[in-house]
Structure 1
Amino acid sequence: MAESTFLDFTSATETSAANERHFSALERGEASTDRIASVRISHTVLPLKGAISDAKVLTGRQKPLTEVPFLFAEITTEAGLEGIGFSYSKRKGGDGQFAHAREIAADLIGEDPSDIQRIWTKLVWAGASVGRSGLAVQAVAAFDIALWDLKAKRAGLPLAKLLGAHRDSVACYNTSGGFLSSSVEEVVANARQTAADGIGGVKIKVGQPDTRIDLKRVAAVKEALGEETALMVDANQQWNRGTAVRMGRALEEFDLAWIEEPLDAYDAEGHADLARELATPIATGEMLTSVAEHVELIRHRSVDFIQPDAPRVGGITPFLKIMALAGHANLRMAPHYVMELHLHLAAAYEHDPWVEHFDWLEPLFNERLETRGGRMIVPARPGIGVSLSDAARGWTTASERFGSGA
């Protein structure tokens, strides 16, 4: 009764003040030596050289891809340290990511930039009513990645070394030359050039309405590459279970490194059945947007190669949780897209990963990654090791600054 009386007489003002102290940035203590002073966010639209099509376009579910919207976050601390992070959306969603980032960016001001997990949780819960996956966490991802970039720069280390690298280079494969919008002759020429450029694998798109066309394209690329270069195929979720089994069996003669996204991304049980049925490894995960969704793939043993995408799942902080769970399950890993970031994360994964080579993003950054002997080399530059190019600044359609100097 006494406790109840005490609560009844607690003023609304005192309760509000207590809540404010709890949710605001921590008081500066001896362990905190810096604070976030300003945040700049930018909506930047990267134009592609030509329209790109995969199986989702052929089935009428999407239009050809002509541009990629990016959300960039640039964080500066009181001590003058800077970190850069980004998220992206293929086709629709970029405006929404930028809008959500605008709502939560000010919540970073005054925070200790080293407290990344706590800041991630704070930002996610700020928009929890619209979900803890999807667009909401993809906006958070840009800030989270910027904070990890900043932390690695503070340490004077490449991000891979800050996380604890297992290797200084990662096997890499190219995807950008194998889309269905290219003729078989173009795909074969691109595959040969990829091998000549020191990239260790080639992935081509499949999922034609006429599966015989797929088999002819795969056969042509396999003949051009021989046995020295790995070959993967990607159906972009457009097969049903029956087609996936039939195509999986037909493709076994080509000794593929994996079959990617044969089924809907959320069909964990179907992928598990395929993984048991086929000799060729199964890969998926790129379209999932949370740790919980990846847990389903791991729990069902749905994949041989798990393919998380750090910007899509909410940044490096949740990606590391997926890495730990996948490592415990002894899965291989091949992170999706954004090689500039995923090279570092793959280098820190315990079970011999692949990283996806896409040259699309190169115009956004001043730096370039090196490939040699079939592998991508972890750069020695501190942090992620990238800075925004003048071209990227020119493709920026909106930006906003929060904090000092705003």
Structure 2
Amino acid sequence: MAKITKVDIFMIDLKPKVKRVDAIQSFVSQETPFVRITDEDGQVGLGYTYTIGQGGGAIMSLLRETLVPQLIGREAEEIERIWRDLLFSTHATAVGAITSLALAAIDTALWDLRCKRAKLPLHVMLGGAKDSVPMYTTEGGWLHKETEELVADALEAQAKGFHGSKVKIGKPHLNEDRERLAAVRKAVGPNYEIMVDANQSLSRAEATRRAHMLEELDIAWFEEPLPADDVLEHVGLAAASTVPIAVGESMYSVSQFKDYLVSGGAAIVQVDVARVGGITPWMKVAHMAEAHNVPVCPHFLMELHVALVCAIPNAPWLEYIPQLDGLTKTPMRMEQGRAFASTEPGLGIDWDMEALDALKIDGLSASFGA
């Protein structure tokens, strides 16, 4: 083992290359905090987290003032102990988004470091269930797009080998959502999956109405129909719908997923490695979902999630939303609609450090230790 001797933190702000609009928000920027951990042997692990346009400064403050100073001198291999100690040191702000997102930046850096020391890729270190996974695309299904654009994007994705497309829903009237989805279904045929996402925008009554409409179009899943913290309403909706209910991207602890799984409120778990607090809790959720015979289809961060979904047996999909274009020297490998986990030691993300340095936000960087 080797002790942590130095930790650096910095943040960049990524601007999406395409317009991204759903039923509750527009993605104008992606604030991305980084944590770089160096051990006494000189090995380095780089981890990261993100917010959609807001809260990045709060994460950096929590890292700088509370979490990172506790890392110096710790054994880097004791990831579970470190994660638990950091969680309880922020007891007054947990469970919560800012705390979980900050923990994730540290936890992913520690796993990157562990894998590099062991000379193993992350998906092998965590189990090595497979080396690739089918992808579905969300990048062309945003709510602001006209029906003709949705159809064209789905057909293009299908031609490229993608196995499905996600379409955002939540238009003012049900018939608007129906018209858009029906056009896509007619274009792609019966064997191409269509997922839908309401981004927590509906009431229980409206979600039930739309669930019946989605059944007619053979929709693969109904994502975030209701506010994510309302487990009981999801349980009721799931009982009334033959379309699988998918939740998880807006949940921030292992226990929240437990409540959904035990109660039957989720047929698909969409745990986000950043929002749940890192790889350590992500794997706990994944194994818990497997015990309930529920698939894991994570939200966003495809360049990191590809290794995690390839580590476990119950992850049938990876969501395609490009995030790190221009920040890596080698992109995630994709062939015929499948994503392949990197065989390089670490998280599998080939960072372009010069590109990251050029995007650092002034005044937020800090260093600790030697």
Q: C-alpha separation between the residues in 1 aligned to 2:219 and 2:19?
A: 27
The answer for the alignment partner of 1:80 in structure 2 is: 42
What does 1:48-67 correspond to in 2, within 5 Å? 48-57=16-25, 64-67=26-29
The answer for the alignment partner of 1:394 in structure 2 is: 358
Q: C-alpha separation between the residues in 1 aligned to 2:355 and 2:154?
A: 28
Q: Which amino acid aligns with 1:395?
A: L
Bigger Rg, which one: 1
User: Residues 192-251 of structure 1, C-alpha deviation per residue, up to 9 Å, x if partnerless?
Assistant: 222223222110100011221111111111122223421100011111111111111111
Q: C-alpha separation between the residues in 1 aligned to 2:116 and 2:157?
A: 32
Q: Which amino acid aligns with 2:301?
A: V
Residues 138 and 313 in structure 1, CA contact (< 8 A), matched pair in contact too: yes
The number of aligned residues is 366
Aligned-residue offset at 1:286 = 0.6
User: Residues 150-179 of structure 1, C-alpha deviation per residue, up to 9 Å, x if partnerless?
Assistant: 111112111010011211111211111110
The answer for the alignment partner of 1:211 in structure 2 is: 174
Instruction: Indicate whether 1:45 and 2:13 are aligned.
Output: yes
> Cα 1:391–1:186, aligned 2, differ >3 Å: closer, same or farther?
farther
Unaligned 5+ segments in structure 1 are: 1-32, 58-63
RMSD value, Cα: 1.5
What does 1:380-391 correspond to in 2, within 5 Å? 380-389=343-352, 390-391=354-355
Aligned-residue offset at 1:352 = 4.2
Aligned-residue offset at 1:46 = 0.3
User: Residues 249-293 of structure 1, C-alpha deviation per residue, up to 9 Å, x if partnerless?
Assistant: 111122111111111111212222222221111101110111111
SS of residue paired to 1:359: coil
The answer for the alignment partner of 2:51 in structure 1 is: 89
Instruction: Indicate whether 1:120 and 2:87 are aligned.
Output: no
Q: C-alpha separation between the residues in 2 aligned to 1:108 and 1:392?
A: 23
Comparing 101-110 with 385-394, which one deviates more in the overlay? Answer: 385-394
The answer for the alignment partner of 2:33 in structure 1 is: 71
Residues 301 and 323 in structure 2, CA contact (< 8 A), matched pair in contact too: no
Residue identity (%): 37
Unaligned 5+ segments in structure 2 are: none
Task: Point out the structure with the larger helix share.
Answer: 1
Q: Which amino acid aligns with 1:101?
A: L
Aligned-residue offset at 1:100 = 0.5
The answer for the alignment partner of 1:181 in structure 2 is: 144
Find 1:109's aligned residue among 66, 69, 72.
72
User: Residues 339-392 of structure 1, C-alpha deviation per residue, up to 9 Å, x if partnerless?
Assistant: 111111111222242111111332332221122233211121211111333333
Per the normalisation by structure 1, the TM-score is 0.87
Q: C-alpha separation between the residues in 1 aligned to 2:344 and 2:151?
A: 35
The answer for the alignment partner of 1:335 in structure 2 is: 298
The answer for the alignment partner of 1:8 in structure 2 is: none
The answer for the alignment partner of 1:254 in structure 2 is: 217
Aligned-residue offset at 1:65 = 1.6
Aligned-residue offset at 1:189 = 1.9
What does 1:336-355 correspond to in 2, within 5 Å? 336-355=299-318
SS of residue paired to 1:88: coil
Residues 41 and 399 in structure 1, CA contact (< 8 A), matched pair in contact too: yes
